[in-house]
Amino acid sequence: MTGQIMLKALITAATVLTLGPISSVADELSGEALYGLACAACHNPGVQVDHRVGPPLGKLNQRKAGSVEGYEYSAALSASTIRWNQAELTGWILDSDQRVPGSRMVYNNQLTINEIQRLANWLLAEQAK
């Protein structure tokens, strides 16, 4: 019960924080669809650096932040001790500038907290492929 109230409060707070529109419809977009809408232009889902401006997101689970060979990271992210998991990814997507000041991802989150979690789940599961 308390947990549910807390989650509700968090979702409300997240909606306000992200300036996202408040949708009356339950979030139903899949993690993969959200990846296509929010990440794919800058991050490929594999493990090789390609033409995209961000690093690849394959095999992300427990990967150390700033560690993909051949990708030019900010000093700030290279120096961070983050290892990617649900919690870290959620915080990063929500506000990467706040999470690692000086990092270079230029991204303004538009996703709700539910969507971020679904996206993070999908991204972390992708490492199995």
Partner 1 sequence: MRQFSRRRFIQSVAAMSSLAVTPARGKVSGRVVVVGAGLSGLNAALHLEHLGCEVTVLEARDRVGGRVYTLDHVAGHPEGGGNIFGGSYGRVLHTAQQLGVALRKPPRGLPSDFHVRGQIIKASEWPDASANQLPADWRELLPSRLQGRLQASNPLMATRNWLDPALNAVDQSAFDGMRALGFPEEAIRLIGVNNSYGNRMADTSLLSLYRVRAEFARLTGSQLSFTEAALGNQRLPEAMAAALKGPLRLSTPVRRVSQDQHRISLVLDNGESIEADALVMTAPLPALSKIEWAMPAERRRLMESVEYHKVLQAHLVVEAPYWEKRGQGGSWWTDGQLGRIFVRPIPGTERYNLTVWINGDECDALDAMPKADCQAEIMKQLYALVPDAKGAVSVGDVVRWSTDPYAGGVWSLWRPGQAAEAHAALRTPLGRAYFAGEHTAISYRGMEGAMESGERAALEVARMLS
Among 1, 72, 128, 129, binds partner 1 (CB under 8 A): 72
Among 47, 61, 97, 127, binds partner 1 (CB under 8 A): 97
Among 13, 46, 62, 64, binds partner 1 (CB under 8 A): 13
Q: Give one word for 38, left, alpha or beta, with left for phi > 0 and alpha for psi -120 to 50.
A: alpha
User: Shortest distance, CB of residue 125 to partner 1, whole angstroms?
Assistant: 8
Residue 114 CB coordination number (10 Å):
16
Say how many Å lie between the first and final Cα of the chain, rounded. Answer: 37
Structure tokens at 106: 């230029």
Instruction: Verify binding: residue 78, partner 1, rule CB under 8 A.
Output: no
Applying CB under 8 A, the site for partner 1 has a residue count of 54
Residue type, 51: H
Residue (of 83, 86, 89, 90) closest to 62 by Cα position: 83
Instruction: Verify binding: residue 70, partner 1, rule CB under 8 A.
Output: no
Burial grade of 47 (CB within 10 A; 0-12, 13-18, 19 or more): middle
Binding site for partner 1 (CB under 8 A): 6-7, 10, 13-14, 17, 19, 21, 23, 25, 27-34, 36-38, 40-42, 51-54, 72, 74, 86-88, 90-91, 94-95, 97-99, 101, 104, 106-108, 110-111, 113-114, 117-118, 120-122
